[in-house]
Amino acid sequence: KAGVTQTPRYLIKTRGQQVTLSCSPISGHRSVSWYQQTPGQGLQFLFEYFSETQRNKGNFPGRFSGRQFSNSRSEMNVSTLELGDSALYLCASSLRTLDYEQYFGPGTRLTVT
């Protein structure tokens, strides 16, 4: 069974731009969640989607948004990029909810200059 895939793996953007990251979950998994990881803050939860609906949300500004498609694939969008948005963005999928085991993708390394 294929694992969670994320594209692109690396990205360089400039301040003020916007970016869209993509995540394909494990086949059969309906929950997709997104996380930001930085050396200073560690892993932080962004949001979770299930059946195309946002079910849980972390404490991030509205510049961070996401969506899920009918095939469970998910995208995350960050608008008006700031230098502090430089991070590793991880996507994870699980069968049903965050309470189930999470399977993480390799992440997208975003650098904002």
Partner 1 sequence: KNQVEQSPQSLIILEGKNCTLQCNYTVSPFSNLRWYKQDTGRGPVSLTIMTFSENTKSNGRYTATLDADTKQSSLHITASQLSDSASYICVVSALTGGGNKLTFGTGTQLKVEL
Contact string 24-43 vs partner 1 (x = CB under 8 A): ------------------xx
Q: At 67, is the secondary structure helix, strand, or coil?
A: strand
| Positions 42 through 81 that interact with partner 1 (CB under 8 A) | 42-45, 48, 55-56
Mark the segment that binds partner 1 (CB under 8 A) among 12-20, 62-70, 78-86, 100-108.
100-108
Q: Does 21 bind partner 1 (CB under 8 A)?
A: no
Show Cβ contacts of residue 82 under 8 Å, excluding neighbours closer than 6 positions.
Answer: 15, 112
Q: Does 103 bind partner 1 (CB under 8 A)?
A: yes
Say how far apart CA 105 and CA 40 lie, in whole Å.
Answer: 21
Residue with smaller CB distance to partner 1, 90 or 110: 90
Q: Residue 8: is the preceding peptide bond cis (ω within 30°)?
A: yes
Say how far apart CA 23 and CA 72 lie, in whole Å.
Answer: 9
User: Of 87, 107, 110, 112, which lies in the binding site for partner 1, with binding defined by CB under 8 A?
Assistant: 107
Q: Does 86 bind partner 1 (CB under 8 A)?
A: no
Q: Does 102 bind partner 1 (CB under 8 A)?
A: yes
Phi, psi of 21 (to 5 degrees): -110, 150
